[in-house]
């Protein structure tokens, strides 16, 4: 049997119209309106974020209810990961919360470090210190290292560099933050600069 182009188009149109009419006459339940109150993302607010583990810059969706993190999942609208997360990225939720093995309830992660700690020379345990103490200690060490390793002249040429320190930028910093960090490091004379975000 030979089919003409006109006959093929008529048959296709008829099949489309029939399936459309059948689909419009059938009533279907609107399941979206009948949300299960036990569903974990009911009444949550979604925020977009970036994964903190590597320099890939994968996007994630963080769902929160009443200021508490409920879920972390891949962002399907993100151009890099398109909703997928690696094993480390999928475990980002555990940075803040974990599931208790006995009660199966979400609890704050008991291993999460929220305050600065220091292990003093000769000590075997970490000791909590205040943020002011941590910042003062870091500033003192930066100043002492710069003073002892600063090179003003190198073979008769002005160098003004600090060979004793380096700067490594993180993967979550954007261009403006990195610009500021580089400016600060250059004022200290640091020439060993790198950034983890090589995307």
Cβ–Cβ under 8 Å, residues 68 and 43: no
Which residue range(s) make up the domain with 139?
A: 117-194
Asked whether residue 40 carries a pLDDT value surpassing 80, the answer given is: no
Phi, psi at residue 38, to the nearest 5°? -85, -10
For the segment 33-42, the average pLDDT, to the nearest whole number, is 67
> 0.75 exceeded by the pTM?
no
Do 80 and 128 reside in the same domain of the chain?
A: no
Residue 108 has pLDDT above 90, yes or no: no
In a domain, 199, yes or no: no
Let me know whether 85 and 162 are in one domain. no
Domain count, the chain: 2
Which among 35, 31, 36, 60 has a CA at the least distance from the CA of 46?
A: 60
- pLDDT for the residue 42: 81
Task: Tell which wins on pLDDT, 147 or 24.
Answer: 147
Q: Percentage of the chain with pLDDT > 90? A: 28
Over residues 127-154, mean pLDDT: 94
* Element at 167 (helix H, strand E): strand 167-169
- CA–CA–CA angle 169, 94, 35 (5° rounding): 120
Q: What's 87's domain CATH number? A: 2.20.25.90
């Amino acid at each position: 049997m030979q089919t003409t182009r006109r006959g093929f188009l008529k048959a296709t149109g008829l099949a489309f119209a029939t399936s459309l009419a059948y689909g419009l006459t059938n009533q279907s339940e609107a399941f979206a309106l009948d949300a299960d109150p036990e569903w974990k993302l009911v009444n949550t607010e979604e925020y977009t974020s970036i994964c903190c583990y590597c320099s890939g810059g994968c996007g994630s969706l963080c769902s929160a209810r009443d200021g508490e993190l409920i879920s972390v999942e891949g962002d399907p609208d993100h151009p890099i990961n398109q909703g997928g997360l690696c094993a480390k990225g999928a475990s980002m939720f555990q940075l803040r919360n974990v599931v208790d093995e006995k009660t199966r309830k979400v609890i704050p992660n008991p291993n999460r470090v929220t305050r600065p700690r220091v292990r003093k020379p000769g000590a075997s345990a970490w000791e909590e210190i205040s943020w002011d103490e941590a910042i003062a200690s870091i500033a003192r060490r930066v100043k002492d290292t710069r003073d002892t390793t600063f090179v003003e002249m190198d073979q008769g040429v002005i160098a003004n560099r600090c060979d004793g320190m380096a700067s490594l930028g993180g993967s979550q910093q954007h261009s403006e933050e990195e610009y500021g960090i580089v400016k600060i490091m250059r004022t200290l004379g640091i020439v060993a600069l790198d950034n983890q975000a090589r995307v």
